[in-house]
Chain A
Amino acid sequence: MADTLEKLLQNPRLWRGRDQANTQGWQGLPSGYPKLDRYLPGGGWPRHALTEILLEHYGMGELQLLMPALARLSEPEGSEAADDTEAGWIAWIAPPFQPYPPALLQWGINLSRVLIVRPRQENETLWAAEQALSSGNCAAVLMWLDTLDDYSSRRLQLAAEKGQSWAIAFRPLEALSQPSAAALRIQLISGEKGTDLGILKSRGGRPAMLRDYAG
């Protein structure tokens, strides 16, 4: 049986997603949560791609989930921004509330690299996000969107690749049934002990469910 499987794997017509991710040298960005890193291909967040986070409601721990990685990105002596004074910005586009700078500072975010954009309309959010992603200045772009069609998500994904930036889109749970070009799609659900994290789609990885990801 194992022999047959081995033979099958040798077949050049067989295409394995996981290998493909690895051959691209896809080094993930450590999330700061070892439990989560184990399930993410490359051992962390996809660096230059779109990550989609689906939420029931705001404040479920969606920011805490990202903070360690964002802190690492905004560091002046971080690997990404070591020799480039203009890189390493973190853009917040259309946040639903006010991101509170003292708390950001507590999490280790470099406040001089924070850019907040408050568009008036949804299409401006997408436009600003695409601009920020493709400019090459932003290490990460966080955006809050109600609607994101397949076409727009593909555009964001391309912009993230072009600007070598990490795009993070926060969307309501209703978006679950809609298709998306995101490299990583996760959902946060309130569980019994804490917030549960479900990996819905992961390029080069496989779906999983984590109970109380922070615990």
Chain B
Amino acid sequence: MSSLDKSPAILRDTAPTPSVTAKPARLEHTQQSFALVAKPTRRLWFCIYLPALPLQALNDTDAEEATAVFEDKEGMRRILLADKKARAAGVVPGLTVNAALALLPTLCLVERNPQRERQALEALAAWAEQFTSFVCIETPEMLLLEIAGSLQLFGGLSSLQQRIVAGLEALGFSALLSIAPTPLASTWLAKAGRRASILTQADLTGALSKLPIRCLGWPDSVNEHLGGMGINCVGDCLRLPRAGFARRFGAGHLLELDRALGRLPDPRQSYRVPERFCSEYELKEEESASDLLLNVCQELLIELERFLLMRQLSVQRVSFSFFHLREPATHLTLGCLQAGRSVSHWFELLKIKFDQMVLPAPVIAIRLRAGQSQLLTARSDKLAFNDVGKRQSEPIAYLVERISARIGNESVHGVTTVAEHRPQYAWMPVDLAQVPHCAAAPSYWCEDHRVLRRPLWMLPEPRPLQLAQGAPVYQGVLKLLGRPERLETGWWDDDGIARDYYVAANPAGVHVWVYRDRRSAGGWYLHGIFG
């Protein structure tokens, strides 16, 4: 009760006790109306804070050489973390890379890799699932374990704590730990480096009050502002009037404080190790009939669809393995642009690929393995009563996939224009796989496109034209129509042009786009046909 007595008036959720710090009664009244009481469900959050994760996420933790991780910040490459050997040589965080190398020429420098850190954290989360059913990843370097339900099983808090600490050490991670009844309080305490173990809501406010503001992870501007007001710890902060605090620093920070103190619920999402589908079908004897094999594949795909449907997942990649008795297995991987789970689509792609595949020997077993699954993003269909008989259209991605499965990826593309005067660079192909949902790619207008006539057909390379009586020839002598359009540009990238473009007509009435190269002694070239 002593901690409550010392704590500021704002913290009192229940009947007000006489406050130690003199506060105007008017404020107290408004504060009371704000106070929200969370339901007393007992929860304990065990926070594992890994300050050295960027270094420890590297696989070679016990390397011979001194190692340091550096980060590229605004063009400056600075040391982020250094291991024991490097620190002994004087390499400290904040040093520039060059200075560190001057101190220790044998230093092994590795750039920070957030992706690897995330992977390490996910692996650790999967490991931590042995202690509790509820693990969540607090980016970028924390894990939260809800352990209230696990205490009994593991024989009390200290035993559980010992197990976790020993496990982390064995895995090669150094961690700061803390336990608190709310997730935010737990992370703040861990960040502050307090090995706190707060089990009840009553102790929480006292423990949090002493925390310095900078452990809260608020922006520097807010921290400085608060520091300027003489507020350095959470307790000071809590003594401020709520309305004024929210107005000055935003309601978000006030909410955070409320959540940390357990006045507001703070739901978290539990991390789940993604499930992968893998299924095998063994044939009774060796088979090579493609119909039969395809049927088996379809069975496997139906199984996959059921698996995904139950979990509301979709996959973007599946791979089949065909096992032979004496030959190494044949693999066939199918990928699609949009993650899906429809059997018919996968089967369609499989049939196309299967036709092109050569099996070296009869097949004895087939395995289907799905790639990383992701949550299904479905959109609702139109409620269509009068659409009967209308065109039934599937996503264009399906068509693109089918064609590229048979003919090759580079053979299907979209187009877009580029703001560029050189005709050959005024457009570019668009990979339809890259454009999300094949949405409209931006088309850039070049002034030329609006005013000047451009041919519908372009030759991949300009074709040199023969001359007859000084005039170029293409299926007959060409008659130049109108005035030339001079394009002289691109000097900056070694592919400059200096050309006079003409629209010309041959005796058959075909309009073509020709140019005279002004660089190489007046050669004539055909560049396009108006079609």
- From the candidates B398, B412, B446, B457, name the one contacting A100 in the complex (CB within 8 A): B457
Say yes or no for B521: interface residue by CB 8 A criterion: no
Contact (Cβ within 8 A) A102 B512: no
**Contact residue range for chain A?**
35 or more
Q: A115-B432, A128-B407 are in contact. Are A137 and B396 (CB under 8 A)?
A: yes
**CB-based contact A102/B417 at 8 Å:** yes
B212 within 8 A of A: no
Residues of B within 8 A of A115 (CB): 396, 399-400, 412-414, 432
Contact of B529 among A67, A97, A137, A193 (CB under 8 A): A97
Within 8 A of A (CB), among B483-531: 508-512, 528-531
Q: How many B residues are at the interface, by size bracket? A: 35 or more
Please judge, given known A-B contacts A103-B454, A105-B417, whether A135 and B398 are in contact too, CB under 8 Å.
yes
Known contacts A101-B417, A112-B441, A63 near B396 by CB under 8 Å: no
Contact B396–A89 (Cβ < 8 Å): yes
In chain A, what residue has the closest Cβ to B508? Answer: A190
Task: Answer whether residue B440 sits at the interface, using C-beta atoms and an 8 A cutoff.
Answer: yes
- The answer to the question of B411 belonging to the interface, with a C-beta cut-off of 8 Å to chain A, is yes
The contact string, 1 if C-beta is below 8 Å from chain A, for chain B 86-118, is: 000000000000000000000000000000000
A118 at the interface (CB under 8 A from B): yes
Interface string of A96-117 (1 = CB under 8 A from B): 1111111111110011101111
What is the chain A residue whose CB lies nearest that of B387? A83
User: Is the C-beta of B283 less than 8 angstroms from some C-beta in chain A?
Assistant: no
Contact A105 B398 (CB under 8 A): no
Smallest CB separation, B207 vs chain A (Å)? 56
Please indicate the chain A residues that have their CB under 8 angstroms from the CB of B412 in the complex: 115-118
> Does the CB pair A164–B417 fall under 8 Å?
no
Q: Mark B392-434, 1 if CB is under 8 A from A, else 0.
A: 1111101110110011100111111100000100110100100
- Report A69 CB to chain B, min CB distance, Å: 14
Given known pairs A97-B529, A128-B407, A137-B396, the reply for A104 and B508 (CB within 8 Å) is: no
Q: Is the CB of A114 within 8 A of B456?
A: no
A98 to B439, CA, bound (A): 23
B509 contact set on A, CB distance < 8 A? 60-61, 190-191, 193-195
**Listed A/B pairs (29) with beta-carbon separation below 8 Å:** A59-B531, A60-B509, A61-B530, A64-B530, A83-B382, A84-B393, A95-B457, A98-B457, A99-B457, A100-B427, A103-B456, A104-B415, A105-B443, A106-B449, A111-B416, A112-B416, A112-B439, A115-B396, A117-B407, A117-B411, A119-B411, A128-B406, A135-B394, A135-B398, A137-B395, A164-B391, A190-B510, A191-B509, A195-B509
| Known contacts A59-B510, A59-B512, A61-B510, then 9 further A-B pairs from the complex at CB < 8 Å, ordered by chain A residue | A97-B459, A101-B416, A104-B415, A111-B441, A116-B414, A116-B429, A136-B391, A136-B393, A164-B391
Chain A interface (Cβ within 8 Å of chain B)? Answer: 56-64, 67, 83-84, 86-87, 89, 95-107, 110-112, 114-120, 124, 127-128, 131-132, 135-138, 163-164, 190-191, 193-195
